[in-house]
Structure 1
Amino acid sequence: MNTVIFTLLLLVSGNVLGQEKPPHIIFIVVDDLGWNDVGYNNPVFKTPTIDRLAGSGVKLLNYYVASHCLPSRNMLMTGRHAIQLGIQRHGFGYHPRSLPLDETTIAQPLKQVGYSTHIIGKWHCGFYSDNCLPHNRGFDTFFGFVGAGIEHYTHSDHFNHMHNLRKNDDCIAKQYIGKYSTTIYANEGKNIINAHDQNKPFFLYLSFSAVHTPLEVPSSYLKQYESTIYDEDRRTYAAMTSCVDEAIANITEALEEKDMLKNSIIVFTSDNGGAVERSAGSNWPLRGGKHTIWEGGVKAVGFVYGELLPHHSRGTENTGLMHITDWFPTLVTLAGANPHVGKKLYGVDQWKMVTGEGKSRRDDVLIELVKDNKASTRYRTGIFKNHPFDITTRAAMKMGKWKLLTGPIGGASDWVKPKEMNSEHSVIEDPDFDATRMVRLYNIEDDPTETTDLSEINHHIVAEMLAKLHNFSKETLLGQSRIFPRANFDGMGECISPWV
């Protein structure tokens, strides 16, 4: 890159933050973390580092992601909505499909303005060819796994039990068997930080495999919950969260020792709501969980921390509407790079909102729209049965205080109390829930737990939101199909690897 252009880009970044150097960016994702699974939302959970960073930073209270991990992570990578990528529903699995190779990842514009770029942990943006892997898509280094989940001690693929831990192109799983994934990732993060050339800005995407199943954790983390959580799965889950918290503490300490923390922005997020059916996550008091479009599935725990934040914004709770795609333009712009070098973004730059110096640039957000996921019965009754938007289509969107859901919700539609001591574990069912009902409207400001459907008395609001969904539907790519041939496992060697 031309030296003059590079210098100008650094000055742009410095002007955004009122300083000369572009910020180091540490982006942390915890897999399947529920709304109720951090200490500042649930004091039974011991997450002192997360609580401290969130309490000294900006908590995002109106922040939305996808209902499961694959669309969330690919939207984060590109700033583009799942409907623009064709990855709304099915996982990539072991078929030749991925985040399309003509999409720009967040690491690419950062690298262009001089950033050192690293990913540790879960990739989940495809791996059928070498071109899909993160170290060939803008990241300098990759230490982690390519699929949806792994065993935390054996580092084998969660679904077919082949080894699934690599460093760039090398399979390294065998040398880490018996060592816990969260600890391994933290140690690798510390090594990268310690080796970093401080003359360069630094981007670390730290994507934990915890607290995703299987529920496994070193026994030392369980002791602090022996007298507070009786349920074994919930106790293990809480201990996994505490282990993640300690890993984040180790990363922040390494940044501080390297004199990098004062010039760092740390972003923390979950990729979707807690898995209440298949795991031990909790989104209480929100309704539903992972794989549903209720708030418990799509409203994420998230915050921003950093000494570069204006003093007036530190320790605040921000209620501005934000979407996971917004991180791409927000952070790329903050770094002094141009986020608009590829295709049309869905994300918008929200830095002024985060810092309290402006309002959200969103009036609405499309949470989910899956054209090939429709109700099993063509149930179209009432005033909206002939609307141009097919109300049997699974979709969710937020507009101001309103949230609209159409089609099948997915998963359980209950409120699930956590299994902590002094709280009876119980499922609270909605006696009025009708699975054949295709349109639901909630006032999330007054009714954040989605108890009262107001669609019958707010036809004009529903009509306005359905019109928006119809417009989005016209722009939607159909989901990638199950392309064949499937993976050639015999030719992969020791690790899950590209096969095309």
Structure 2
Amino acid sequence: MHMSVANVVIIFSIFSSAEPYSGQPHIVFFVVDDLGWNDVGYHNSYIKTPTIDMLAKSGVRLNNYYVASHCVPSRNMLISGRHVIDIGLQHGEIGYYPRGLPLDEFTIADKLKEIGYATHLIGKWHCGCYSNHSLPHNRGFDTFFGYLGSSDDHYTHIIMSNGLADLRLNDECVGYKYFGDYSTIMYANEAKNIIAQHDENKPLFLMLAFSAVHKPIQVPDVYMQYYKSTIHDNERRTYAGMASCVDEAIANITEALENKGMLKNSVIVLTTDNGGGSVGNNWPLRGRKNSHWEGGVRGVAFVYSDLLPMDVRGTENSELMHITDWFPTLVKLGGGNPCERKNLYGVDQWEMIRGMEPSARGEVLIALDTTRKASEEYRTGPFKYDKFDITTFAAIKMGKWKLLTGDSTYRNFWDMPDPEYGVIDDEDFDDTRMVRLYDLVDDPSERTDVSEERQDIVHEMLAKLDGYEKAAVPPQMQTKPRLDNHVLECMGPWID
């Protein structure tokens, strides 16, 4: 499964001067699980991701792009274009509860399939699996090859916490067939097979949601060897090898598209679902996965395509974008109607990506979880009488301003540039403070809280949060688990 950097260069030289495509483009969408800001080569020269770097540097890098702090909200917003406060997934994990993307919601695959796309999902779903109706191949995808839960062993495809097999081909449990195959390579081979068998005259939507670089931290030894002289911590070296393996998978899929004559008519997107976790690195951003600091919610993302004007290829775009925006952007690009019955949170950003217009949004609601509140005794200070309860765990970005409310104690540090040297602790952090405001233009690392100096901005943003809270639907119930792990051998539906 190897493709050399030289071959990548040859492929790019072949299609970089191709004429723009006027039909429905093929869409290849990569999601890398838990990829940190500093875990790609174009942000960190220690990380060897030559294909990702070349695609990013030949396309448009999205530098003001926001995701959720963890997997469930990000993936459900991506797949539906709806904010989690509108679908009841703003609190907690799906776990073994009858929760997930509501069955009356459209998915991006539904909308693309309506307009003639072949639709395929490989890898991670995590949008609900309690009912057969909630499985991906019944939610707009022609085929599904992957897993339903949050994380599996990359070789055995078994959920570490309960021993259930978690690998499916549509309705069939197939983990035993692939036992011992490394997930990234396995998924890339499936993508290559789909491309090889595809009728290139029909538009393709292929979403590959890698299980890497999420824990468990595992990779074939050959990829760790890339770092034997530069990274001495074994876990971090393995993690970096996982990123390099993902890069090689993308190289091979890119080569498959070129061999099929499809690459010149494709839009390639890469995104993380959230910031890097305990082994990832988000320097110079503050915090990590599961926090609302920038390191948890500002995501690595780019778009590569010959549909992009030549003058924006190889540029960085600092316009505001949110993970929900992919739904309307790509559906409209394919010629479909993304809205129809539902009011989306996402907005069409294609002209912004092309450099023709500013962002279609002025704000991003990063998170709002009214079930998670700090003690009422901390509702003090100049904002205690605002309509919005400042003890609520929430975050919002408006223009250059970012406001965080509630308990922000989780991940109060900055990763060191070299993660082997640990983190920089915020020794002066006051965990009783419920309101924090940052100017992300002057202070992208969130080091200086200016809420006292700019109380006018804080009041304005709290009013926005109050409006969002009033419009939010209640969180889906997370009471008794409906799944008895002992009655299943393979992760999947347990309710008729």
Common topology (TM > 0.5) = yes
Deviation track 1:337-383 (CA, whole Å, cap 9, x = no partner) reads 00012311000000011010110011111111111111134311111
- Distance of 2:258 and 2:492 partners within structure 1: 36
- 2:123–2:210 Cα contact (<8 Å) kept: yes
- Distance of 1:184 and 1:343 partners within structure 2: 36
1:491 CA drift (Å): 3.7
- 1:288–1:414 Cα contact (<8 Å) kept: yes
- Distance of 2:333 and 2:92 partners within structure 1: 33
- Distance of 1:485 and 1:74 partners within structure 2: 20
- 1:96–1:483 Cα contact (<8 Å) kept: no
1:382 matched to 2:381: yes
- Distance of 1:104 and 1:367 partners within structure 2: 22
Deviation track 1:435-493 (CA, whole Å, cap 9, x = no partner) reads 1100000000000000000000001010111110110010112221224452133443x
1:158 CA drift (Å): 3.3
| Match runs of 1:92-131 below 5 Å | 92-131=94-133
- Distance of 2:227 and 2:160 partners within structure 1: 27
**Residues 410 and 430 from structure 1, CA distance in 2 versus in 1: closer, same or farther, beyond 3 angstroms?**
closer
Deviation track 1:129-157 (CA, whole Å, cap 9, x = no partner) reads 10000000000000000011110000001
Q: Which amino acid aligns with 1:249?
A: A
Structure 1 residue aligned with 2:11: none
Structure 2 residue aligned with 1:497: 492
Structure 1 residue aligned with 2:281: 282
RMSD, matched Cα: 1.2
- 1:148–1:158 Cα contact (<8 Å) kept: no
Structure 2 residue aligned with 1:10: none
Q: 1:198 aligns with which of 170, 179, 200?
A: 200
- 1:491–1:499 Cα contact (<8 Å) kept: no
- Distance of 2:161 and 2:461 partners within structure 1: 39
Structure 2 residue aligned with 1:247: 249
Structure 2 unpaired stretches of 5+: 1-18
Deviation track 1:229-256 (CA, whole Å, cap 9, x = no partner) reads 0111100000000000000001100000
- 2:284–2:417 Cα contact (<8 Å) kept: no
Structure 1 residue aligned with 2:210: 208
| Match runs of 1:204-243 below 5 Å | 204-243=206-245
- Distance of 2:318 and 2:136 partners within structure 1: 33
3-state SS, counterpart of residue 456 of structure 1: coil
- Distance of 2:43 and 2:183 partners within structure 1: 25
Residues paired across the two proteins, number? 477
3-state SS, counterpart of residue 366 of structure 2: strand
State the percentage of identical aligned residues: 61
Which 4+ runs in 1 deviate beyond 6 A? none
**Residues 451 and 189 from structure 1, CA distance in 2 versus in 1: closer, same or farther, beyond 3 angstroms?**
same
Q: Which amino acid aligns with 1:95?
A: Y
Q: Which amino acid aligns with 1:91?
A: E
Deviation track 1:15-68 (CA, whole Å, cap 9, x = no partner) reads xx9743100001100000000000000000000000000000000000000000
- 2:409–2:431 Cα contact (<8 Å) kept: no
- Distance of 2:125 and 2:258 partners within structure 1: 27
Q: Which amino acid aligns with 1:498?
A: P
Deviation track 1:53-105 (CA, whole Å, cap 9, x = no partner) reads 00000000000000001000000001000111111121111111111111110
1:439 matched to 2:440: no
Q: 2:477 aligns with which of 468, 476, 481?
A: 481
| Match runs of 1:36-55 below 5 Å | 36-55=38-57
- Distance of 1:479 and 1:27 partners within structure 2: 29
Structure 2 residue aligned with 1:317: 316
Structure 2 residue aligned with 1:6: none
Q: 2:84 aligns with which of 77, 82, 85?
A: 82
- Distance of 1:401 and 1:382 partners within structure 2: 24
Structure 1 residue aligned with 2:138: 136
3-state SS, counterpart of residue 452 of structure 2: helix
**Residues 410 and 349 from structure 1, CA distance in 2 versus in 1: closer, same or farther, beyond 3 angstroms?**
farther
- Distance of 2:471 and 2:61 partners within structure 1: 32
With the length of structure 1 as denominator, give the TM-score of the two structures.
0.94
Structure 1 residue aligned with 2:421: 425
- Distance of 1:239 and 1:19 partners within structure 2: 36
Q: Which amino acid aligns with 1:489?
A: N
- Distance of 1:306 and 1:426 partners within structure 2: 38
1:418 CA drift (Å): 4.6
Deviation track 1:201-259 (CA, whole Å, cap 9, x = no partner) reads 00001000000000000000011100000111100000000000000001100000000
- Distance of 1:293 and 1:239 partners within structure 2: 27
Structure 2 residue aligned with 1:470: 466
Deviation track 1:276-328 (CA, whole Å, cap 9, x = no partner) reads 3xxx1000111000000000000000000011211111001000000000000
Deviation track 1:161-207 (CA, whole Å, cap 9, x = no partner) reads 21100100011100111110000000000000000011210000100
- Distance of 1:387 and 1:147 partners within structure 2: 39
- 1:60–1:301 Cα contact (<8 Å) kept: yes
- 1:328–1:347 Cα contact (<8 Å) kept: yes
1:411 CA drift (Å): 2.2
- Distance of 1:29 and 1:274 partners within structure 2: 13
3-state SS, counterpart of residue 295 of structure 2: helix
Structure 1 unpaired stretches of 5+: 1-16
**Residues 332 and 429 from structure 1, CA distance in 2 versus in 1: closer, same or farther, beyond 3 angstroms?**
same
- 1:272–1:290 Cα contact (<8 Å) kept: yes
| Match runs of 1:401-412 below 5 Å | 401-409=400-408, 411-412=410-411
- 1:104–1:342 Cα contact (<8 Å) kept: no
- Distance of 2:177 and 2:408 partners within structure 1: 43
Structure 2 residue aligned with 1:185: 187
1:163 matched to 2:165: yes
